[in-house]
Structure 1
């Protein structure tokens, strides 16, 4: 494994760095999703989502941080060196138990909590059904170390559904935010609302000829001019 990693080190490190960034991004996503509802369930969802991002990031970081030096040592001392044993040890600690098992479980928990908390805020029931289905399939990844039949395929399908569910969550959240913004933003007067505000609201608006005549007549007949006050 280490020799294969060394042969493609740049690509592997780059891709795992992208995965680490995606895992870390899960933390602010969980926090922002928590603002869509103020129930205790959603508060637990924030904790589960933040924890999911942290444990997955820690598990993935072993590839760009630890494995390159281990591969370098193995290349000089041979695959039977202590570097191979250390690599397998870190995989047993940070790989399956932490990054995968805990990551899958916490991601599934966050998804179920969010999917079941939001319908009372106008989210459709289909959103809940899709989220719960994706969470159940993602949770099958917990059994991956025991090589359960079709476990990896079901886990992959779960993440495909989860990606669609996340896009739906983003779409519903944006739509809800726009509706709230429209409800709290006062309407601005337009040019058709009143002639008296045309200079402020509509700089390019040209008053009608009748309006200009009336304004001129009003100025000439004002009390100030009739008594000589300028």
Structure 2
């Protein structure tokens, strides 16, 4: 399997794996709506999910890792584009994979401990309050700041760079490059959902755009992968 075919397969596999894991979490854990509920309820639902839910979160985190080899492979496949653009794109793509992984990996490793501690018989109110602070602090830091803010920002930037490289290359139709630039720009805009004046409650425009943009981003990846195979 050459680099072009491998990159094409990853372009198709990544969004399929990501959306499958996301849909499974929505069905089994009511994610992401459950994050708006009290910490005690979230941890209780997590504890009820057992090992299957932990493994599902682990699989979801692993989908983020797929972006790293994809970013590197695409730089080689689109070799006729500007070398500086390709180098920057692969670097930003690896960073996007890293921050999204760091944002998600708390769920299969940190949250199980918090859920067990919250479910211990006779847990005092002071202990429950401490667990609430820890859970919410990690949710805001790793979930919102690292996983969402930096994740959306770097993923959007990578999409823009790949789109520009596609338009300079003859590997796939140029219109796919334009789509990547537009979708990437919107995704980068969505990274501002909890920035500045929106820190507490979030920017409603970004909140509405994010799920639609991720669907468009997934379709763009699949379309680009299919085009590479033709």
Does TM, scored on the shorter chain, surpass 0.5?
Answer: yes
**Matched residue, 2:119:** 75
**Matched residue, 1:150:** 205
Structure 1 residues 166 and 45 mapped into 2: Cα distance closer, same or farther (>3 Å)? Answer: same
- Which whole-Å CA distance do the structure 2 matches of 1:11 and 1:68 have between them? 12
- Which protein is bigger by CA-based radius of gyration? 1
Count how many residue pairs are aligned between Structure 1 and Structure 2: 175
Q: What pairs up with 1:75-224 in 2 under 5 angstroms? A: 75-76=119-120, 77=123, 80-122=128-170, 123-145=172-194, 146=198, 147-175=202-230
**Matched residue, 2:4:** none
- Among 68, 73, 88, the residue aligned to 1:44: 88
**Matched residue, 1:60:** 104
TM-score by length of 1: 0.70
SS of residue in 1 equivalent to 2:193:
helix
- Which whole-Å CA distance do the structure 2 matches of 1:150 and 1:11 have between them? 34
1:30 Cα deviation (Å)?
0.6
- Which whole-Å CA distance do the structure 2 matches of 1:105 and 1:169 have between them? 21
Which structure is richer in relative contact order (CA contacts within 8 A, separation 6 or more)? 2
**For the Cα contact (< 8 Å) 1:136–1:158, is it kept in 2?**
no
1:78 Cα deviation (Å)?
5.2
Instruction: Structure 1: give runs of 5+ residues left out of the alignment.
Output: 176-230
**Matched residue, 1:218:** none
TM-score by length of 2: 0.70
Instruction: Structure 2: give runs of 5+ residues left out of the alignment.
Output: 1-41
Structure 1 residues 78 and 109 mapped into 2: Cα distance closer, same or farther (>3 Å)? Answer: farther
**Matched residue, 1:23:** 64
- Which whole-Å CA distance do the structure 2 matches of 1:18 and 1:152 have between them? 25
